[in-house]
Structure 1
Amino acid sequence: MSNETSKKPKVFFFEDYSAKELNENKVGRKGLSLFKLKDMDVPVPEFFVVSSDVFVEHSLKVFKGNKEKLLGKGKNPEAFEIESTMVNEILDKEAQEEILSAYTRLSGFTDAWVSVRSSVVFPNDKDVSFTGIFSTELNVRKYDELLPSIKRIFSSMFSDDVVAYAKRMNIDISDVKMAVVVQKMVQSEVAGIVYTVDPISQEKTKLNIEAVYGLGDVISLGEVTPDTYLLNKKDLSTVEKHIAPQEWMKVRTMKQVKKMNQGVEKIKISKGWSHKQKLSDKDIQEISKISLVIEDRSGEAQNIEWVLSGGRFWVLQNKPVRFKSLDFEVQSEFVVNVRSNVREEILGFIEKFESKDQMISSAMTEAKKIVQKNNDEEIKRLEELIVQAKKELDVELNKPETKREDFVISGIGASFGTVTGKINIVDGPVVKKYTKGDILLIKRYSSEMEGMILSSGGIIMETGGLTSDTAILCREFKIPAVVGAATASSLLEDGDIVKLDGNSGTIYKSSKLIDEIKKELHPIADVYARGDVTLKELSDEDGDNTSSTPKDFTLPHTATKIFSLVDQQPKELFDFVGNSNGLVYIDLDKIMIEDGRHILQYVEDKKFVDYSKRICNTILEYVNLVKGDEVIISIGSAKVKDFRGLVGGKKNEDESLSSDAFGAIHYANNPELLKRVARIIRKLRNVYKKRNISLAVHAPMNEDVVREIKKLLLSEKLRRMSSFNLYVILDNPSEIILVDEIVNTNLDGVILNTPRVAKQMQGFKVDEKDAKYDLARSSIFKVLDNINYSVKGKTGKVIVIVENSKPLLKYCVQAGVYGVCVSSEDISDARRIVADEEGKIILGK
């Protein structure tokens, strides 16, 4: 009996506990705040919390039982490997039983739809928010789906993003634990966020409300600009209203739940409703009163997430709002072990939590380090700085040289500060080096853009409000930001020099600065200005004389990448590729066709492993020539009829496809073929450690086909990352026309197959070997301009196959493309020509 009563609970149901019986170490910050809300009689959807002890026990079991698999030979595991291992490991039996019991109580007679969210445990520093860092899963239903969902939330603790965040905040991520909140979903008609203090001016007498139709995650994601209502807390009178038109909303659907959309769909809003105020004045008053009760009981300003459903308000979560000083940082008195990668995080976690006694002892030690400081003088100083900033703004706006025509657009000032810099329009994550001289104009936000934001000098968003993830991130890292600037991308262009004022939410063009730095606007000049390359010729001392491939160290270095065509056998290429920046491209279709037997026939014969090893060895003969430079492998060059002609080809190819079909459409219609090819690429990267290998797909056709290819590659764990790029090869004039649509799929770059396109435009057959096409025609230059314009701001890489055409080579440099691909024997000449053209650009000739 005593054993039973002393057993620590692993799940905390909302009806069974009060906040006084719990603490952050058991249920995490979010879980504890929900119990406090329940004790205040605030309307909260039913919930339960899976203890942080379950997270520690399950994670230790996973990492200790799979240590060799995940960490062997110095390995730094990928996020998908950790997630898969975490999900496949069976949860502790007692934890399973308690979760089942709690979910059954929550559901009643039918399986409830629930949200599954992280609840961080980090008492060391309340100011480290972890906002948007860990996973959330919505619309989870049934116990069999709930368990994997909880384990996926656990696995989100161990990722590159979490390690990077901890490094920026100077904390040891191994000190962080996680509980999980499981909460009943509410179908929201209107949703939003309340700040019981003005999040920008930090004025305590004001209350700020943001509201949207449908699900509220569009606010944090910055997908929709919300209504904003600013009220006086004293009498709840309205100070300011900003009604934002909303064309669509997210709603929960009762259709079969898929992991990718999590049971959510977008619904178009009728014109009669899209421009209306989201909350009535009566509803504004009601949610304000609820929020003030929470602030009063909590004793500090609050950030409150709410929904309106069936005429009733529900509070989903709340957290305190704390502001940091604008002019200095508090230095930690303790030595912090900052982890540099996921491997170190896992090893630190094992070391810290390996035994229960160690864990308790460590927790007690850490508790002694907690220092909570409420410095009234610091708050007063902060308010004085804000007032001074406003005064300086008024002086600046009243200066005679500030012309009215310089004004571009206004939005919502989301993060204090002013910055002058160059506009970079982005529509998704790109692999590009940004500096504090760059201002990002974000058309569409995703969590993968966090690194881009932190390295930039300022942020403009066409959507979003004060409580979007981007706005919070900018305030946390003191990056000036303006959100809700709806038409900014139509008024500004890449390269425009602007002054961004995060205090007033305004953006001005600066013509004076445009004249001063005009020479820096060319992509080539940018690379030189950042110090990534110099005009100085490389000496022998700069090179690696131990390289097995010959290298001419007298050749000048260039900003434009110069790739070698794979136009000879490895032995012949040996003498040339040492002077290149890599290979474009190794034709995998050609290698498979030359083998004579269909790849899927090898699968059927259970000989795929040997086959893949043989193919890898063939590719490695080329890859080993370039010593770490990028090597692009292409798929899709061969026609369906070429594959049908192989042994086993007829039965392994789609009969409905045309014999002349090739490229992305072939692989999209034969997913098993693409999966096997993806495994070969993955084997080259992971087993043979050739992390410089990227993939290019011929003839992308259109956006839908590219998205299908990306989905299939992702299912085989081939996802875009800093060391793996996904390109498309534009083979046909029709793809040039559709390039805007194709590059909207978040690719890393495009490769223009200029010879093939030129043949078709100049009346030759694509298979005509002796065709005398001309790559120096103005029509080819116009094609390049069209592609460069479409790709600009969406992906940083355009690679052009120029063969041995010097006019096209020079035009590519002037156009600022990322790279050119030349005949192997022409690499040295190309280096000299490119360096000469880049010199002209730098000197303004």
Structure 2
Amino acid sequence: MATIVWFKDISKRDIGFAGGKAANLGELLRANLPVPNGFVVTANTYDKFLDEAGIRDQVNNLLKNLNVEDTDKLNSASKTIKSVIINSEISSQIAKEIATAYDKLSSGTIRIAGASFESGEFVAVRSSATAEDLPDASFAGQQRTLLNVKGKSELLNAVKECWASLYEPRAIFYRTQKGFEHEKVSMSVVVQKMVDSYKSGVLFTIDPTTNDLNKIAIEAAWGLGEAVVSGEITPDYYVIDKRTGKLVLKKISEKPFMYTRDLEKGRTKKVNLSQEIAKKQVLTDDELFMLAKFGKRIEDHYAWPQDIEWGIEDGQIFILQTRPVTTIKSVESQMPATLVMKRAATQAAEDIEEILETETGIPNIEVATVEAEHEDIESILEKEVATPEVSETLPEFEETILEIEKAEESPKEETLPAGAIVKGFGSSPGKSAGRVKIISNLEELSKIQKGDILVTAMTTPDMVPAMERAAAIVTNEGGVTCHAAIVSRELGIPCIVGTRNATKILQDGMLITVDAIKGIVYAGAVGVQVGEEKQLEITQISQITTATKLYVNLGVPSRAEEVSRLPVDGVGLMREEFIFASAVGEHPLSLIEKGQEQKFIDNLA
């Protein structure tokens, strides 16, 4: 297998050597979508690096029988493994092939993010693991992304940083919880021309909180997308009805800062915005139209709802990544017949588990120290202040017109209902009661006990172990595509984001009820007992007669009753390794070695 493969030569079937992110970027490029050019350092190259450096056994031994619930041991193993990888040399042959590909990428005539200055292109270097963003496991933010990398030596260091991030504590913990064997997971690395976005965000081709397939949800903010996906700000939020093409919801938030490139140092920097720009609506009518059109096109291509990251540079929209939405319940019963049939045909040709995708967020940003000159992006925003708001009618959207009605906007002041103390945006529906635990830093995560309500400014991937113990999550910032929202939906726990003041209003030990259906926090236990969780019910759907029998892939044993209400003919695949992870809790061979075969049999049964 080659060390380097270009996007144009990759499709979604190439996850085995390209990883989920790269496979989808290649698929989009081959579908003539606006994807910045790049190449992938294949997963085989990572495996070759381990063997040439002679560190594979050392890495595996450090992970063998590791108790991931012991935070100190987990962090220690992670630190040692990452140090071993970063301090190992990449062979001259691998380094030469990466450098040659970088030279070729930098020689293009298309200028993206400062390509004409100094030697080499500015690139984003992103991990693309062979077991990330599965249909039932998003692995959101588990591995490293590095932005504004420039020069061959910086690139080689960035590649090793991505390889090492396969062993971040959160990544080791998450793989263990999901039943993935560490030694069978490999890592490719995406090297892609950097888009210096002055507008960016996330697009869902489904309402991510209600799973309504007839809606397109778009979040947008100024600058690079880091602030949106990490949940550091509350972005603008738009909802478009696919059937009518009408904008049915518009919430314009105050976005006090943005991330962009430092024009003197080439680093990613945080820039505070004026009140006028911070409160300005980000997207124009044309941009909304084009984003919605791209979203529908990508969803049709994959025959499945998509989670898409995008950026706008010099007036052009770029698609930065896409992945299937991983938290859908009973979606096929809502799908148009043509989409269901197309998806069935796709799955007949390839297993759905091959449709992996990129990580949902990039909360762990590392930037190279480089020099650059570039047009001041902040001056572009000054022009935006004078741009008119979205007009009453958008351009033609297929057979319909995207009309801007008097869509609901965020009220300036809201009156809370009786008993309510905090209001935000319900991003993972459900209702739970419990005691407040406010988390200000990672050192406080041990405060979270089973059934507590985790309250913080915004979650990070390092908080996932604590999030799994929480009964609900409440954050100050973020939108429906931020880390807290995505992980909460996957865990199936209520989550309210964008409250602005939860960490100030709520106090440690308070008994509260989190109603994430309405986005409201109540004092005391209201309509639910402590320890009880109420989720949105899936209504019984009548069986549809089809010539082909439909069977479900059951990945989580605890959801068997919920899945039984779907209009399917039975269970076609039950992932036994997930039973081991969730019910048995130990590897079968480990139990056998201990002479505990009966324990294994009893737990499995």
Corresponding letter in the other structure for 1:32: A
1:494 to 508, 514, 518: 508
SS at match of 1:495: coil
Per the alignment, residue 461 of structure 1 pairs with 475
Counterpart amino acid of residue 482 in structure 1: I
Q: Aligned residue for 2:564? A: none
Change (3 A) 1:280 1:56: same
> Is 1:283 the equivalent of 2:287?
yes
Please name the residue that 1:85 is paired with: 84
Q: Distance in 1 between matches of 2:62 and 2:470?
A: 34
- Which residue in 2 is equivalent to 1:170? 179
Distance 2:419 2:493 in 1: 23
Matches within 5 A, 1:44-63: 44-63=35-54
Task: Work out the CA distance in 2 between the residues paired with 1:123 and 1:373.
Answer: 11
Query: Aligned match of 1:214 in 223, 245, 251?
Result: 223
Relative distance call for 1:491 and 1:185 in structure 2 (3 A) is: same
Distance of 1:431 and 1:124 partners within structure 2: 25
Aligned to 2:521, what secondary structure does the other structure show? strand
1:11 aligns to 2:15 (yes or no): no
The TM-score normalised by the length of structure 2 is 0.66
Please state how far the C-alpha of 1:208 moved relative to its aligned partner.
Answer: 0.3
* Residues 226, 123 of structure 1: alpha-carbon distance in 2 compared, 3 angstrom cutoff: closer
Q: Distance in 2 between matches of 1:177 and 1:187?
A: 29
Cα distance in structure 2, aligned partners of 1:190 and 1:74: 46
Task: Specify which structure has the bigger relative contact order, considering alpha-carbon pairs within 8 angstroms and separated by 6 or more residues.
Answer: 2
Structure 1 residue 440: Cα displacement: 1.6
Shift of 1:71: 5.3
Deviation string for 1:295-333 (max 9, x for gaps)? 11121111110001111111111111133559xxxxxxx
The residue aligned with 1:422 is 435
C-alpha distance in 2, partners of 1:246/1:463? 11
Measured after TM superposition, the shift of residue 98 of structure 1 is 1.9
Look up the SS of the partner of 2:196 in the other structure. Answer: coil
Counting only pairs closer than 5 Å after superposition, residues 134-153 of structure 1 correspond to structure 2 as: 134-153=143-162
SS in 1 for 2:260: strand
Whichever structure has more helix as a proportion of its residues is 1
- Paired position in structure 1 for 2:315: 311
Report SS of the residue matched to 1:292. helix
The change in CA–CA distance for 1:116 and 1:124 in structure 2 (over 3 A counts) is: closer
Residue 267 (structure 1) aligned with residue 281 (structure 2): no
Q: 1:234 to 1:255 in 2, by over 3 A?
A: same
How far, CA to CA, are the matches of 1:511 and 1:64 in structure 2? 53
Alignment of 1:705-724 (within 5 A): none
Gaps of 5+ in 2: 67-72, 108-115, 331-348, 356-415, 531-605
Q: 2:129 aligns with which of 109, 116, 120?
A: 120
1:231 aligns with 2:231: no
Does the aligned pair in 2 maintain the 1:124–1:370 contact within 8 Å? no
Post-superposition shift, 1:128? 2.4
Pairwise CA distance, 1:200: 0.9
User: Is the Cα contact below 8 Å between 2:137 and 2:490 reproduced in 1?
Assistant: no
Corresponding residue SS for 1:288:
helix
Letter in 2 for 1:87: I
Secondary structure of 2:167 counterpart:
coil
Counterpart for residue 296 of structure 2: 292
Distance in structure 2 (CA, Å) of the matches to 1:43 and 1:373? 23
Find out whether 1:445 has 2:445 as its counterpart.
no
Q: Alpha-carbon deviations, 1:55-81, whole Å to 9, x = none?
A: 111123345488499859999763333
TM-score (norm 1): 0.48
Return closer, same or farther for 1:125/1:285 CA change in 2, 3 Å cut-off.
closer
Aligned position for 2:418: 405
- Describe the superposition over 1:587-643 as per-residue Cα deviations: whole angstroms up to 9, x where unpaired: xxxxxxxxxxxxxxxxxxxxxxxxxxxxxxxxxxxxxxxxxxxxxxxxxxxxxxxxx
Aligned pairs for 1:467-616 (under 5 A) are 467-510=481-524
Letter in structure 2 aligned against 1:278:
V
Q: Which one of the candidate residues 27, 38, 54 is aligned to 1:36?
A: 27
Find the partner of 1:435 among 433, 449, 455.
449
Contact 1:425–1:443 under 8 Å retained in 2 = no
State how far apart, in whole Å, the 1-side matches of 2:291 and 2:230 are: 22
- Counterpart residue type for residue 313 of structure 1: I
> Quick one: distance in 2 between partners of 1:512 and 1:25?
49
Identity between Structure 1 and Structure 2 (%): 29
> CA 1:452–1:510 in 2, change beyond 3 Å: closer, same or farther?
same
Q: Distance in 2 between matches of 1:267 and 1:295?
A: 34
Any residues of structure 2 matched to 1:250-265 within 5 Å, and which?
A: 250-256=259-265, 263-265=267-269
Q: Output one character per residue of 1:741-761: Cα deviation in whole Å (capped at 9) or x when no partner.
A: xxxxxxxxxxxxxxxxxxxxx
Q: Deviations over 1:352-395 (max 9, x none)?
A: xxxxxxxxxxxxxxxx9967699xxxxxxxxxxxxxxxxxxxxx
What CA distance in whole angstroms lies between the structure 1 residues aligned with 2:515 and 2:64? 50
Q: CA RMSD in A?
A: 3.1
**1:233 positional shift:** 1.1
CA distance in 2, matches of 1:124, 1:483: 22
Question: Within 2, Cα distance between the matches of 1:86 and 1:293?
Answer: 40
Structure 1 pair 410–296 and aligned structure 2 pair: CA distance change class (3 A): same
**1:179 matched to 2:188:** yes
Alpha-carbon displacement from aligned partner over 1:482-508 (angstroms, at most 9, x marks no partner) = 001112233322222221112221111
Residue identity matched to 2:427 = A
Query: How many angstroms does 1:125 deviate by?
Result: 5.4
In 2, distance between residues paired with 1:59 and 1:158? Answer: 14
Aligned partner letter, 1:303: D
* Structure ranking higher in strand proportion: 2
Q: Match for 1:292: what amino acid?
A: K
Matched pairs, number: 433
1:156-181 superposed Cα distances (whole Å, 9 cap, x missing partner): 11243222102221222322111110
Instruction: Tell me, yes or no, if the aligned pair for 2:513 and 2:526 is still in contact at 8 Å.
Output: no
CA distance in 1, matches of 2:7, 2:295: 21
